């Protein structure tokens, strides 16, 4: 099969760390190539990461929107790569991808779209007017002619079905590289944390206060600290701060922590990259993802892959996997539910955490490696 991915894959010139979409799209493309497919990748940005020389790559970064609309770039792509059997578009709010998809559909090629959480009710409620206008344009020139959608999980499938009940929807999870070797590399961190009675709950990711539910997490933790004279849980935040207009996530977290009875139990670190990131994850007793909305967060899969149990909100769309693998706990994205989980796990034995972590490693190895995920049946 000849497969072409179109995604806003970004290089280090545009992002401080490899974002989830760039990470997952390139990992999927590599795994599909290894699985015997003829694979290409088109990005609306410039990508300087590693791709096999056998994977066709083209950037649309230097092409203007007007030029992209008037002059069909798909003609040159076909000359270099050939006519793809399937085109897989990742993300929907990208005009360059929209125009290129229009040209591809005019050639009668089968095209699928991965919304990656962009069609959830909460995601649609943000920048409502702008997204409504974009979706009207998307519906008019692309959606009505696509082959179908690719959802990351059953939760996202329901969101898509609500908006597009007559479209074909394939479920294809995110994946991760099975990292038992990383577990062994950072074994000292695993060994040391089991010597401590303190439970280190860590968040890793973009510090988007609202979307990631960090305001809920901080308030629940404040109430937890206020409810006890023996604080047995600490919080660690690792990630890139978000600054927009007058809002600064770093200032928000620091100001909020002034309400804690013990400020020393909050650590604000990072971001970390590569092996440093894995080293810090391995220090977590539990990884927490309290998001109000997600597609399917890679951070949770990464934590599972090296034996770190997880707490996730239902809204992360990871609840089914966490329950099936028995590698953690599922909560609602609200203060009361988060407070209850703190109270539930504050006295948990570290051996139980180790067993849950092992459950997660086994589940990832069996079901969620990129090798397994790459076997998407488009046709």
Same domain, 217 and 363: yes
Domain boundary (153, 172, 191) is at: 172
- Is the domain of 210 the same as that of 95? no
Residues whose CB is less than 8 angstroms from the CB of residue 164 and which lie 6 or more positions away in sequence, other chains included: 143, 149
Do both 192 and 267 map to the same domain?
yes
Q: Specify if 133 maps to a domain.
A: yes
Q: Does 377 reside within a domain?
A: no
Would 379 be classed as within a structural domain?
no
Q: In this structure, are 47 and 16 located in the same domain? A: yes
Q: How many domains does the chain have?
A: 2
Query: Does some domain include residue 258?
Result: yes
Q: Write down which residue in 155, 172, 189 finishes a domain.
A: 172
88 with 29, same domain: the answer is yes
Does residue 103 form part of some domain?
A: yes
130 and 165 together in one domain: yes
What is the tens place of the pLDDT at every residue in 226-238? 999 999 999 999 9
Query: Where among 154, 172, 190 does a domain terminate?
Result: 172
Are 20 and 168 found together in one domain? yes
Same-domain check for residues 215 and 343: yes
Q: Are 141 and 221 members of one domain?
A: no
Q: What is the pLDDT of residues 108-130, one digit of tens each?
A: 999 999 999 999 998 898 888 88
Q: Is residue 374 part of a domain?
A: no
DSSP conformation letters of 315-373: GGT-HHHHHHHT-EEEE-SSHHHHHHHHHHHTT--HHHHHHHHHHHHHHHHHH-BHHHH
Report whether pLDDT(10) > 90: no
E-strand ranges in the chain read 2-7, 38-43, 56-59, 86-90, 110-114, 148-151, 168-171, 199-204, 233-238, 243-244, 247-248, 266-269, 286-289, 310-313, 328-331
Q: What is the pTM of this model?
A: 0.90
Q: Where are the alpha helices (DSSP H) in 258-334?
A: 274-281, 298-305, 319-325
> What's the average model confidence in pLDDT over 305-318?
95
Question: 18 and 158: one domain?
Answer: yes
Residue 378 lies in a domain: no
Tell me, what CATH number does 213's domain have?
Answer: 3.40.50.2000
Domain membership flag for residue 372: no
Could you list the residue range(s) of the whole structural domain that residue 275 is in? 180-367
pLDDT 10s digits, 68-104: 988 899 999 999 999 999 999 999 999 999 999 999 9
Residues 20 and 92 in one domain: yes
């Amino acid at each position: 099969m000849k497969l072409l991915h179109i995604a806003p894959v970004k290089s280090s010139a545009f992002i401080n760390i490899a974002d989830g979409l760039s990470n997952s799209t390139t990992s999927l493309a590599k795994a599909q190539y290894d699985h015997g497919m003829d694979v290409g990748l088109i990005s609306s940005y410039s990508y300087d990461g590693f791709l096999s020389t056998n994977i066709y790559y083209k950037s649309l970064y230097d092409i203007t929107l007007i030029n992209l609309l008037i002059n069909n770039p798909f003609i040159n792509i076909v000359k270099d790569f050939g006519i793809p059997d399937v085109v897989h578009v990742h993300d929907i709010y990208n005009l360059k991808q929209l125009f290129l998809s229009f040209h591809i559909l005019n050639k009668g090629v089968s095209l699928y779209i991965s919304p990656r959480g962009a069609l959830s009710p909460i995601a649609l409620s943000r920048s409502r007017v702008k997204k409504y206008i974009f979706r009207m344009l998307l519906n008019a020139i692309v959606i009505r002619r696509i082959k179908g959608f690719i959802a990351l999980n059953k939760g996202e499938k329901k969101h898509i079905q609500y908006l597009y009940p007559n479209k074909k929807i394939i479920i294809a999870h995110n994946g991760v590289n099975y990292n038992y070797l990383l577990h062994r590399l950072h074994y000292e961190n695993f060994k040391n944390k089991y010597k401590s009675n303190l439970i280190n709950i860590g968040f890793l990711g973009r510090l988007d206060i609202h979307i990631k539910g960090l305001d809920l997490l901080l308030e629940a933790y404040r109430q937890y600290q206020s409810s006890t004279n023996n604080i047995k849980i600490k919080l660690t935040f690792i990630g890139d701060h978000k600054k927009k207009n007058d809002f600064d996530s770093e200032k928000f977290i620091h100001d909020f922590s002034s309400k804690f009875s013990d400020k020393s139990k909050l650590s604000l670190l990072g971001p970390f990259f590569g092996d440093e990131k894995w080293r810090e994850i391995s220090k977590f007793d539990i990884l927490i993802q309290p998001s109000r909305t997600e597609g399917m967060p890679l951070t949770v899969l990464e934590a599972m892959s090296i034996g770190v149990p997880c707490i996730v909100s239902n809204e992360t769309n990871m609840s089914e996997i966490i329950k099936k693998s028995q590698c953690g706990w599922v909560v609602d994205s609200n203060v009361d539910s988060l407070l209850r989980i703190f109270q539930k796990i504050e006295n948990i034995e570290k051996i139980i955490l180790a067993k849950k972590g092992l459950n997660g490693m086994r589940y990832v190895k069996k079901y969620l490696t990129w090798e397994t995920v790459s076997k998407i049946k488009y046709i």
